[in-house]
Amino acid sequence: MLAGPVFAEPNDGVEGLNEEQQSFAGRFLQFQDDMDEKFFGRAGEINDGNSSDVKKNVKTPHADYNVRVARGDVVEKIGRMISRVYEPQSDIQRPTTFGRYYGLDVHAKSPLMGHVHSAIVLQYYPDGTGVIGGTLNLLKGAAREEDREYVKNALDVVFEKHGRDPAPYRNRVCNMSEDAVQPKYHRKLACIGVSFFGFPMMEVNEENYLFMTEIYAAFISSYLDTVEERKDAPFTAEDVARQEAMRLNWLEDQFLGDPYSSGVVPYDVWGHAFLPPLVKF
C-alpha cells in the first residue's frame, strides 16, 4: 500500500513497527496526501484550472509506485511519484519494514522559473532504526537571482526556527554529487537548495520529523510563489535557450547520472513523474 485513499488502509504493511513507529508512519502517509492536495491544488489555481490530472499505479516484483501528473498553461507540468519498496534490487537500497518515498517535480512554462526536483523519504529497518531524509533541488535555467534568493530564504527561515545550520546540507547540492553514475551528466543545480540524503542520515524523532516536513513544504510553496509572481513577465530568446539546456541536462541526469532512475526505478515511472514536458536536442 502507498498513501491515503490510493491504496487500501493507512497502516497496511506496518505491522512490524512499534506504537511510536506506527504513529510516525501514519503521519507520513497523511503528509503525502496533504502535499498532493496542497500543491496540485495550488498548481490548478495558478493555471486557472489544470488541463489534465492523471494518476496511475505501476507494480513490479520489487516495488509499488503511484504516479500523478497534472498539466496547465503556467505550471506546465507537476509530477509526483510515491514508492513503496518490497525488497531491494540494488546495493544502494536496504531492506525495510516500512518505507515511503515522495518525490515531486514542478516544471514552469516560463523559462524564468527554473525547475524544482524534490523528495522526502521515511524508512524503518528490521533492526528497529528509522531515518528521514530528502533533497530540495532547483535547476536554475534562467531563474532570476531575486527569485532564487526568495526560495533560499524560505528554507533558511525553517533552519533558523529549528536551530540548525544549513551549510552542510547546502554544500551537498553546491558541489558535484559523488553518487552520480557519470558526473559530467549530473544535474546542474542552483546553490540554494539542500540535501539530507548524505550520511549520517537523520533518525526519525519528533524534532526531525517536524523539521523535514516543514522545510519540504516551504520549498515547494516558495517556488510556486515565484511562478505565480512571474507568470506574465517577459523573457528573451536567451532565457528560452537556458531553459532548453536545463531540461536537456535533467534528462541526461536521469538517464545517465542518477543511480536510482538509471538503475532502480522503472523508466515509465520516473519518466512520467519527473521528466520535463518538452526536451530539445
Task: Determine the pLDDT at residue 182.
Answer: 58
**CATH code given to domain 4-274:** 3.40.1500.10
Question: Can you tell me the distance from the alpha carbon of 149 to that of 158, in angstroms, rounded to the nearest whole number?
Answer: 14
| pLDDT reading at 140 higher than 60 | yes
What pLDDT is recorded for position 214? 99
DSSP string for residues in 71-127: E-SSEEEEEEEEEEESS--STT----SEEEEEEEEEEESSGGG-EEEEEEEEEE-TT
- Residue 61: left if φ>0, alpha if ψ -120 to 50, beta else—which one? alpha
Say how far apart CA 122 and CA 102 lie, in whole Å: 9
Q: Which residue type is seen at 143?
A: A
Mean local confidence (pLDDT), 200-217: 97
| pLDDT classification of 105: cutoffs 50, 70, 90 | very high
Q: What pLDDT sits at residue 86?
A: 80
pTM for the predicted model, two decimal places:
0.90
Mean pLDDT of 256-267: 75
Once rounded to an integer, what is the mean pLDDT over residues 23-52? 96
Which amino acid appears at position 279 of this protein?
A: V
Closest residue by Cα to residue 72 from 234, 227, 236, 226: 227
pLDDT of residue 146: 97
What is the reported pLDDT for 255? 87
Domain ranges of the chain: 4-274
Per-residue pLDDT at 9: 40
State the Cα torsion 156-157-161-163 to the nearest 10°: 20
HSE-up of 70 (CA within 13 Å, CB side)? 23
Selection from 258, 256, 254, 259 nearest residue 273 by Cα: 254
pLDDT at 242 over 50: yes
